[in-house]
Chain A
Amino acid sequence: MKLKIILSFYIIISCIPVIPQDTLKILPEKEDSLQIRIEILESELQKLQQEFKMQQEEDEIKKLMEEAERLSVQPEEEKLDISKRYYSGARQQQGLNPNISFGADFFAGFSTSDSKSLNEQGDIQYGNNGFFLREAELSLIAPLDPFTRGKGFVSASGEGLEVDEVYLEWLNLPLNMNLKAGIFRPEFGLLNRYHDHALPQFDRPKALVNLFGINGICGAGIASNIMLPSFLLSNATTFELSALMGSSNQIFTSETYGEFIFTGQFVNYYDLSRSSYLEFRLSGAGGRNDQPEGIHNTYVTGAGITFKWAPVGREKYRTIDWKNEFLYSFQGYLDGYYKSMGFYSSIQNKLGARFWLSGRVGYSEIPYDPSQYEWDFAVCLDFWESEFVFTRFQYQYNYREIEDRKDLAGPFPSDHSFIIQVVWAMGPHKHEAY
């Protein structure tokens, strides 16, 4: 019986697992599901944490940005200021004034010659013994309108008040042309455009003085300057023609109404390197001169070469500027033409920021008597204390084979001169050389 009971219990027991086994089969599935849910929850948690972190970062950056904005903007305080005064611009038009400059050219001269005819200021050669104000010059420069520039230079000297140049220039006209009208110095040779204070030496070379006087060619008229297409591989080519009236020159002496001086100049410019260039000029001038027997034609031709070396980056301290010009003139008279020639060679050497050493040699025949001539030799040292003030020390020797001049009373001995020149300028104007 016991065995039966044990056996039946065993059987029952052995059968029991069948039901729980099925039940246990379901439990792992639930486990998986729970696991998945846990994973999902974990991932969601992580996501939330990440979002929270990002939100925190964003908030932090937002705060920083707000601070940055606060730091970057400095609002101006706006207060009512009852002490403030108000002005009208209607009376404040000074901004439209031209660029005004005032310059002076003063010198002391000492010479072995004391001939008045040579020494008188404003004549062939400046006074060599004494103190002189060669000129005080007022310059006014301004655009007149979008199309034109106006320039005026008026100088005062021992001879009174004189208009150096007063002209307007139309820019950018057709045919690459600029047109000038007024009283001006036309393009002729290397130095005619230079005002006295800007010359490489104290005086103009004798070759120019004997032809055109101490002031060069200057007069009232018109000039047209044309930029030509590149010619013979040049880097720039220009041609200027001018017609003007003027009688102050030595060689163009006609004062008859309607007589003109015509000038022309062709310039070919070559950049040799970044630091040096070469420029060729061919110049010509024609006009009339009064002779006792009548009025005759006069022609002057010139050829010039300029070489300039200004090392890039060192222009302020080193420059060599070498100018050479040859002139040939034909001055008409009853039986033909007097033919005379002249030349000069001028070299300037910049020794440093403040010093220039320069020299010149020149030769000139008297235009109406080529058998008479003179040489000039000059050496000078310039000290520039700034761009607007310089002092020049010049020694000059003039060798003359001149017995007689119809424009001056002799004698005309050779002479040695020593000149101390001081030039200064107030205002913005500078001499623009290249």
Chain B
Amino acid sequence: MKKIKVVFKVILAIILLTSYIPINGQHQYQHQYRYRGGNNSTLNIVCSFSDYASIVRFIVGEHGNIQYIAHGEQDPHFVPPKPSYAMMLNTADLWITTGMDLEIWSTTILDKARNPKIMDGEIGFVSVSDGINILQKVEKADRTEGDIHLMGNPHINTGPLNWKIIARNITTGLIKVDPSNSAYYESNLEKFYDKVNRALFGDELVDMFSGDMLCQLLENKTLFTFLEREYQGEKLIGKLDGWLKEALPFRGKKVIAYHKNWAYFAETFGLEIIGYIEPKPGIPPSAKHVQNMIQLIKDQQIKLMLVASYFEKKSPQMIEDKTGIKALYLPLFVEGIGEIRDNFQLVDYWIDQINKNIQ
């Protein structure tokens, strides 16, 4: 027994000593866009996701030091609320989050951050979903529907139309904490709107009809009716450019998805998602459900399955093997893969990959 005691004492001593040993490289994994020429007045901005950080970068320009919590390849529902995130939020001037019930994990770190400025309702708290037309609002709020989002589908980042509202909310937040630069932020917001419009519709249509009008038409699902009208003897659809033109090959095509991540993307670009690998949100697929999906794919002759890259690959692979469908694994967020540095590159990538893989 004496030997055991000696061993325990040695191990105890080692633990005590190692708690004081610094570990190299421990700060290298903070996710951030840093403005390196900043000054004392630089805002400290923390976002829940990289997509919001990317939009903040467009608006805040040189006036902000931007960090985000969930990595681009991480499941947004399950982010461990680590103490280092609470430290990150402790000095934040602005906390930018979806504002729905996607980041339930964030309440724990907010309560531990000791930063009253960024609590719900305070000057430094921004809910980017405010004003967005939320899809898939809950009709039946109980757990028979799985791990439901009570406020509707929170994956708003996948819809480019939503970005303009997200940017507007971010700009509002920035002006609240830094009113002296409001003209600068508003000017950048206008530039961002224009960039989104031109990315969606191309230059010619935007110059003719204005981006706001086109966005309204798209949101009302009347854009393509309108584009059938003639101008100078040619249909307006001939003038369509940008993502909507690139996405024409898969407009109206049926696909299946793993989870309800792609609702806003599908709404904008006309994909029809007719089934999900998850039987209910957050519930792993059972063998029986997988069999049902296989039958659905065969009956409907579905050619493509969209899977956010953080999901398991076993079920999609099994479905691929049994049906010949193509499982397309896509990053859900900016920096989900290395070369995607902003939202525009992300949608470029999604459309390009869908076009390459849909038959």
Chain A residues within 8 Å of B, Cβ to Cβ: 57, 60-61, 64-65, 67-69, 71-74, 146, 149, 169, 171-173, 176-178, 227, 230, 232-236, 238, 267-274, 277-280, 282, 303-305, 308, 310, 312-317, 326, 328, 341, 343, 352-354, 363, 371, 373, 386-388, 426, 430, 432-434
Contacts and interface: CB of A to CB of B under 8 A. Distances in A.
B281 to A, nearest CB: 11
Interface stretch (B34-42, B182-190, B191-199, B209-217): B209-217
B12 A303 contact: yes
Contact of A68 (B5, B83, B105, B217): B217
B136 interface: no
Contacts of A315: 74-75, 78, 80
27 contacts: A61-B231, A64-B209, A65-B213, A68-B213, A72-B217, A72-B220, A146-B121, A172-B114, A172-B115, A172-B116, A178-B111, A233-B23, A233-B26, A235-B26, A269-B83, A303-B12, A303-B15, A308-B80, A310-B80, A313-B71, A315-B75, A316-B312, A354-B284, A371-B1, A386-B282, A426-B143, A433-B80
Given A60-B231, A271-B26, 17 more contacts: A57-B232, A61-B231, A64-B229, A67-B229, A69-B213, A71-B222, A149-B111, A169-B111, A235-B27, A278-B23, A279-B83, A316-B75, A316-B312, A341-B5, A386-B143, A386-B282, A387-B282
A73 B216 CA distance: 8
Contacts of A387: 147, 282
A270 B5 contact: no
Interface stretch (B84-92, B152-160, B166-174): B84-92
B316 to A, nearest CB: 13
Contacts of A354: 284
Contacts of B23: 233, 270, 272, 278
B84 A271 contact: yes
B322 interface: no
A126 to B, nearest CB: 27
A68 to B, nearest CB: 5
Contacts of A238: 83
Given A61-B231, A434-B81, A326 B217 contact: no
Contact of B208 (A61, A172, A373): A61
Contacts of B104: 430
A233 B309 CA distance: 33
Interface string B280-321: 001110000000000000000000000001111000000000
Contacts, number: 167
A163 to B, nearest CB: 22
A236 B312 contact: no
B82 interface: yes
A312 B231 CA distance: 51
A70 B321 CA distance: 49
B354 to A, nearest CB: 21
Given A71-B217, A72-B217, A270 B147 contact: no
Contacts of A317: 312
B13 to A, nearest CB: 9
A146 B15 contact: no
B112 interface: yes
Given A236-B84, A280-B18, A432-B105, A227 B8 contact: no
A343 B71 CA distance: 36
Given A227-B114, A235-B26, A272-B26, A313 B208 contact: no
Contacts of B284: 353-354
Interface in B89-107: 90, 104-105
B338 to A, nearest CB: 13
Contacts of B236: 64
B220 A71 contact: yes
A310 B1 CA distance: 37
Contacts of B1: 371, 373
A434 B146 CA distance: 23
A72 B222 contact: yes
B73 A313 contact: yes
A317 B18 CA distance: 31
Nearest to B313: A317
A227 B114 CA distance: 8
A71 B225 contact: yes
A313 B309 contact: yes
B108 interface: yes
A432 B81 contact: yes
A192 B222 CA distance: 59
A343 B15 CA distance: 13
Nearest to A172: B116
Contacts of A68: 209, 213, 217, 226
A434 B82 contact: yes
B112 A178 contact: yes
B119 to A, nearest CB: 7
A313 B208 CA distance: 43
A94 to B, nearest CB: 13
Contacts of A373: 1
Contacts of B143: 386, 388, 426
